[in-house]
Structure 1
Amino acid sequence: MERPHSQNPKTAPPATHLRADAQANHDLLVEAARELFSTHGIDVPLSTIARRAGVSAATLYRRFPAREALVAEVFAEQLGECESLLERCQADEDPGRGLRRLLMTITDMQARSRGFSGALLARYPGAIDLDATRERADHDLRGLVRRAQDAGALRPDFDHTDVYLLLLAVDALAAQPPEIAQAAARRLVAYVLQAARPGRAAPLPPPAPLELAVLHQDQGR
């Protein structure tokens, strides 16, 4: 009776090797995407990422079936840092200092990476589970602005959506080389914070409709 065919154990890689190989490909793709997203933004062709990683396009799509999944993987840690930063700044006993720290830190992160700036504004809104984080971020930011106004650190007509306006402006700056983008972002934040101080300045026009939900919807188009 003929014995069932079995694969030669000398040529069949063990399961642990397969898992290690898959993890290596995953890491190569994430690192390549991080580098290319940083300099070219998150719209860089996926085929370019695969070539930079030294793997086939099929391998890329097997690991990351959609661009959103790759964007989320690359920037998950930084976006998590933004959440933690907002919580710390919102809890700062000096709300004016907390707001300044928030704006300076996040815009600096934007200026250093075009990809992060795009991910922050959720150009691919499916990349991150935004429902709970968006509501919490909006709530915390409103609270921080209100406390800063109550403390006399912000003019009364400053609106929390002015922060989103600033993030959109820095997103445009992120297309410049990082050293230029960072210098310009810091100067822009300084201008905004100075203009936001209480005083006898003329009233501002009504705030733009830049709620987080609107930003995410528009950036996803």
Structure 2
Amino acid sequence: MSAGLVTGVALLGALAGRAAVPLARCAVASDAAVGGRENRLGAVVLAGALVFGGLAAARGGDLALPAFLAVAAVGLALALADLACLRLPDPLLAAAAGAAALGLVPVALADGTPERLLAALAGAAVSFAGYVLLALLPGSRLGFGDVKLAGALGLPLGWLGWPALGLGLLLPHLLNGVVVLALLATRRVRRDTPLPFGPALLASAWLAVLLA
């Protein structure tokens, strides 16, 4: 994809970030928790441009790019809601899964590769089942929203293949561990402070798509 088109998609991502703020309703009502509406808006707009631009640069020739962008757009709102409220709203989770499914089905039909849909469904099932087991472990801090998000992200990751799915399942724990250690070292949190896991899941899925 040309630099001009990548820039155009990045600008679209900035608009998606702007639209994510009212979608994450809990975050809109929690300005004090995240440092004010203006700062949050600027950060989400920048994140949207980075996420969309990265996807366009890495997968510009892929017919499934619109599906990845649609999931990313919903993911911005999910990340914002989880950071502000420690909650992943079910309507947004359903929208993420629906965006992946509706975006990938026509690509499989156009390419004549229905087996990739089966791989996507298998990826969702493996992700969901794996995170159910993790959530049931003693002392686990995973919520069922995290489990459902993992299942939704398993659709596009499974579509890309098992290496991408494995990376998307492993990276969240590495990223989250680094963030937690940094927050503990700077005394921003305590060991018993509840922290969101959704942003780590979303960022890891994005990285897995870029590296697939």
The TM-score, its normalising length taken from structure 2, stands at 0.29
Larger radius of gyration: 1
